[in-house]
Amino acid sequence: MRIVDRYITVSIARTFLSAILVFCFLYVLIDLATHMDDFISNKVPLLIVGEYYASFLPVIFVQTSPIASLLATLFTYSTLNNNNEIIALRATGFDFWRTTRPAIIFGLMITSLIFMVNERFVPGSMNASQDIKQDTIEARTKDAQKAQEIKNLFFYGLKDRLFFIDHYFSTSHTMEGITVISQDSQQRMTEKISAQKGTWDGKRWTFFNCQVATYDPLDNSRTDQVKFYKEYPMDMGETPKDLLTQRTRVANMNIQELSAYINRFQSSGAYSALNSLRVDLHQRIAYPFGCIVILLVGLPFALTTGRRKGLTFASVGIALAIGFLFFVVNSVGLALGKGGALPPIVAAWIAPVLFLIAGWHLVRKLF
């Protein structure tokens, strides 16, 4: 029986690798077509363009592996079904779980690989791609001048300060809804600055309608002094470019770094920002399991649709439909979590759990 498992696994692996290569090619082709005029008109060296797209490969792998593994599995089993090989396996006593064991093991391997790549390679590759884009490509193009609004910007800045900004507009260099918390070496809050708006004049930041509160480090519940200012020149070393850089650093953190980052913010009182960070943290853990979960949902279809001749390629449509539905449910869950409607752990795991239940129900109903 090991021969059967090896035969099925090799078929799935070949289709999986082919799908990954196709996804990588399509991504590069589409993005290159979009930016080709900028590359040519600004004479961006071919080597830099190649390095830029090569740095995206780990990200493409992580994002497309779930749908690629599902596509490979459905295509393989549908082909086996059309060739009556599934009937032969059932005749020898193979039940659903024994027949699909190679696919499940393969899915678990890809799930583990996604987790590893996402933790070890994606943060570095994202930082590399953004450095290339900012230092070389955007320096030669007008992309950096495009209007951009960033919501819920938060980062750990200079002088042990925590920054929380509701809205940041990169073109006008203005902020809205600002909270700046200063801490001592023991991470105890010593000062809290709240401002309605902040602007950059090219040299420094100025906050408007600002409240500055100082706290007793030994008892943060007690306020020593509170002052109000219509205009407050902010002693802040971060420039507008630094704000964008800090934002990308948070987005590119791995689980351990993000968890430590959240711990720094625990005493800040910025519940909205902390909630968003916790959703991202749980999503980093939950996302790889989406691979094996949608695989379990798709397997029953692979062993049923193929009973009719000529429907092997229907597996492609089924895979895309399942992947799209999972993406929609997952996106809605994350949005509800960041909006405070769902706890962070529920928001991140709702899609995998729902699809796991759906897959189990399909198996029990059809087999």
Q: Does residue 268 surpass a pLDDT of 90?
A: no
Contact between 267 and 187 under an 8 Å Cβ cutoff? The reply is yes
* Predicted pLDDT of residue 263: 80
Highest mean pLDDT among 54-68, 90-104, 123-137: 54-68
- Above 90 in pLDDT, residue 282? yes
Q: How far apart are CA 79 and CA 303, in angstroms?
A: 10
pLDDT tens column, 187-202: 778 889 999 999 998 8
d(CA 256, CA 56): 22
At residue 247 the predicted structure's pLDDT band, cuts being 50, 70 and 90, is low
Q: What is the pLDDT of residue 306?
A: 46
Among residues 7, 67, 85, the alpha carbon closest in space to that of 298 is found at 67
Q: What is the pLDDT of residue 309?
A: 54
Highest mean pLDDT among 87-101, 276-290, 294-308: 276-290
Tell which wins on pLDDT, 2 or 108.
108
Q: Which residues pair with 208 in a beta bridge?
A: 197, 231
Q: What do you get for the CA distance between the two ends of the chain, in Å?
A: 21
What are the distances in angstroms from CA 272 to CA 23, 120, 167, 187, 290? Answer: 36, 28, 13, 20, 26
**Model confidence band, residue 313 (pLDDT cutoffs 50, 70, 90):** low
Is the pLDDT score of 141 beyond 60? Answer: no
Nearest to 364 by CA among 289, 356, 312, 352: 356
pLDDT above 60 (res 290): yes
Q: Please state the rounded mean pLDDT for residues 340-366.
A: 92
The DSSP secondary-structure symbol of 147 reads: -
Residues written for the chain: 367
Which of 100, 41, 105, 92 has the alpha carbon at shortest distance from 74? Answer: 100
DSSP alpha helix (H) spans, 42-100: 46-54, 57-82, 85-91, 96-99
Q: Is the dihedral of CA 200, 206, 211, 212 positive or negative?
A: positive
Residue 304's pLDDT is 72
- Domain layout of the chain by residue ranges: 2-128+283-366, 158-237
pLDDT at 274: 81
Q: What is the pLDDT of residue 140?
A: 53
The whole-number pLDDT of residue 65 equals 95
pLDDT of residue 353: 96
Neighbouring residues of 299: CB distance < 8 A, sequence distance ≥ 6: 73, 74, 77, 96, 100, 103, 104, 359, 363
Among 161, 162, 114, 160, which Cα is nearest to 288's?
114
32 or 135, greater pLDDT: 32
| Mean pLDDT, rounded, of the chain | 85
Q: What is the pLDDT of residue 211?
A: 94
Is there a contact between 312 and 79 (Cβ–Cβ < 8 Å)? yes
pLDDT, position 145? 46
Is the confidence at residue 216, as pLDDT, over 90? no
What pLDDT does residue 314 have? 72
Question: Does the structure show a pLDDT above 50 at 146?
Answer: no
Contact 134, 209 (CB under 8 A): no
Instruction: Rank 68-77, 248-257, 270-279, 358-367 by mean pLDDT and report only the highest.
Output: 68-77
Could you tell me which of 155, 149, 152, 160 has the C-alpha nearest to residue 273? Answer: 152
Lowest mean per-residue pLDDT among 79-93, 106-120, 167-181: 79-93
Q: Residue 97 corresponds to which tokens in the numbers above?
A: 């779980």
| E-assigned strand segments in the chain | 149-156, 161-169, 174-183, 189-200, 205-216, 219-234
Q: Which of 60-69, 130-139, 161-170, 189-198 has the lowest mean pLDDT?
A: 130-139
